[in-house]
Chains A and B, each alone.
Chain A
Amino acid sequence: MHDWGWSELVTLFSHFVSLSLLSIGGAITTVPEMHRFLVADYGWLTEDQFSSSIALAQAAPGPNVLFVAVLGWTVGMNAAGGPSATPQAWALASACVFVAMMGILLPSATLTYFASRWGQRNRKRPTVRAFKLAMAPIVVALLLATGWVLTAGHGSWVSHPGPYLLTLATALMVWRSRLHLLWLLAAGALAGVVGWV
């Protein structure tokens, strides 16, 4: 765990770079690969640290891709010898966050930027219009499917109906009401604390 230096940072960076262009459907789809690398192969994170990092980032505000920053931070803290407030530990953890986020973002953001510019310039072409029209119903279904997959991570709906009911109720509220989304999240947190889900 000790003597972290440039070579470890480069390893971390190149791993996230290699996953960036594979992360179709979001960085969350490469979680199994990150787990293999960070936990199984290198032992930079424990099993518990890995899963609680992801849960924390999911619950916190901001894009879900920030779980990569939390993973990076925890890797850095571990490398510095566990959670501590020394300037060296903070510096190493910050460096790991920077390296991991840059790695996961740079390749995909660059590609998206140029691809969407091309699409915008050629938006009158029948092929581009056909592509967008064809994708619309698929995208709607992907959103519904993402909701399903995230909830199904808690277990089968037969044995654990709670999360499914909560997800369904939330979806209907979002669709039909104008209630602020924060109220829904607060209600979900409360339901979790008292043990309904």
Chain B
Amino acid sequence: MQTPRPASVRALFWAFSSLALQGFGGVLAVVQRELVEKKQWLTPDEFLEDWAVAQIMPGANVVNLALIVGDRYFGWRGALAALAGMLTLPLVVVLALTVALSGVADQPAVQGALRGMGAVSAGLIAGTGLKLIAALRDNVMGVLACAALAALTFIAIALLRIPLVWVLLGLGLPAMAWAYHQLLEQARHRGAP
């Protein structure tokens, strides 16, 4: 099946610029909507896989995602173009806002607007998580194991505030062992090595 892909390095730069400029309060929700749902450069599964790598590597998640997606299509030139697209214009905008707002940033109305937009941007991230639940249905670990892993991760990070690295070691490693086991089982049932 032929999947859509960016036409050029320049197209990649502008695609990520446009994503980033729409991403008030974080870019992730827009990335998912544009790259997966509209442009279809990534399937939901690919998005989850790339996002997993982007998230566990140090650094800004969406910046890492831009590097990974850009590299996939055009190598290091694509990675740089996607990265530059993600950062250049938003940097100009945010510094312009900083200059414009220096002096009024402590007004109650401005503080209120920032707080309201902060709550919405938190919802955008959580909503993207809700959408991606559908991509877990075919996971080789099984629905029950996926649900248990997700619930434990949420409790550990959101409620107990355990540092991410411990959660990844404590839950990620057993999950990997289980997934590895299930992959071998699956291969044996198909009679292929």
Partner-B contacts on A (CB < 8 A): 20-27, 29, 48, 52-53, 55-66, 69-70, 73-74, 77, 83, 97, 101, 104-105, 107-109, 111-113, 115-117, 119-120, 126-127, 129-154, 162-164, 166-175, 181-182, 184-185, 187-197
Q: Give the interface residue-count category, chain B.
A: 35 or more
Whether A66 pairs with B91 at a CB distance below 8 angstroms is yes
Whether B58 pairs with A22 at a CB distance below 8 angstroms is yes
Known pairs A129-B183, A130-B183, A147-B129; A142 contacts B22 (CB<8 A): no
Q: Told that A130-B177, A192-B117 touch, could you supply 4 new A-B pairs with CB distance under 8 A?
A: A62-B89, A135-B49, A136-B49, A192-B111
**Residues of chain A with a CB closer than 8 A to B93's CB:** 60-62
Whether A24 pairs with B165 at a CB distance below 8 angstroms is yes
Which of B113, B135, B136 sits near A189, CB closer than 8 Å? Answer: B113
**Residues of chain B with a CB closer than 8 A to A187's CB:** 120
**Closest CB pairs A-B (n = 9):** A62-B90, A170-B123, A192-B116, A174-B127, A147-B126, A108-B59, A143-B129, A188-B120, A141-B153
Interface SS, B side: helix
Whether B150 pairs with A141 at a CB distance below 8 angstroms is yes
State the CA gap A190–B116 with chains docked (Å). Answer: 7
Whether B120 pairs with A166 at a CB distance below 8 angstroms is yes
Known pairs A133-B141, A197-B119; A83 contacts B102 (CB<8 A): yes
**Residues of chain A with a CB closer than 8 A to B117's CB:** 58-59, 185, 188-189, 192
**Residues of chain B with a CB closer than 8 A to A29's CB:** 164
**Residues of chain A with a CB closer than 8 A to B114's CB:** 55-56, 58-59, 192
Tell me if B42 is interfacial: C-beta within 8 Å of chain A.
Answer: no
Contact mask for chain B residues 48-90; partner A; CB cutoff 8 A; 1 contact, 0 none: 1111111111111111100110011000100100010011011
State the CA gap A187–B24 with chains docked (Å). Answer: 13
Tell me if B95 is interfacial: C-beta within 8 Å of chain A.
Answer: yes
State the CA gap A194–B112 with chains docked (Å). Answer: 8
| Closest chain B residue to A165, Cβ basis | B119
**Residues of chain B with a CB closer than 8 A to A169's CB:** 123
Which of B62, B126, B161 sits near A144, CB closer than 8 Å? Answer: B126
**Residues of chain B with a CB closer than 8 A to A164's CB:** 119
Whether B87 pairs with A66 at a CB distance below 8 angstroms is yes
State the CA gap A153–B119 with chains docked (Å). Answer: 10
Tell me if B109 is interfacial: C-beta within 8 Å of chain A.
Answer: yes
Closest CB in chain B relative to A63 CB, distance in Å:
5
Closest CB in chain B relative to A32 CB, distance in Å:
12
Whether A63 pairs with B116 at a CB distance below 8 angstroms is no
**Residues of chain A with a CB closer than 8 A to B22's CB:** 61, 181-182
Known pairs A56-B98, A109-B59, A137-B150; A116 contacts B53 (CB<8 A): yes
Whether B60 pairs with A174 at a CB distance below 8 angstroms is no
| Closest chain B residue to A146, Cβ basis | B125
State the CA gap A168–B63 with chains docked (Å). Answer: 26
Whether A138 pairs with B153 at a CB distance below 8 angstroms is yes
Tell me if B36 is interfacial: C-beta within 8 Å of chain A.
Answer: no
Which of A57, A112, A146, A172 sits near B57, CB closer than 8 Å? Answer: A112
What are 6 of the A-B contact pairs (CB < 8 Å)? A56-B98, A136-B48, A151-B122, A170-B119, A172-B130, A181-B124
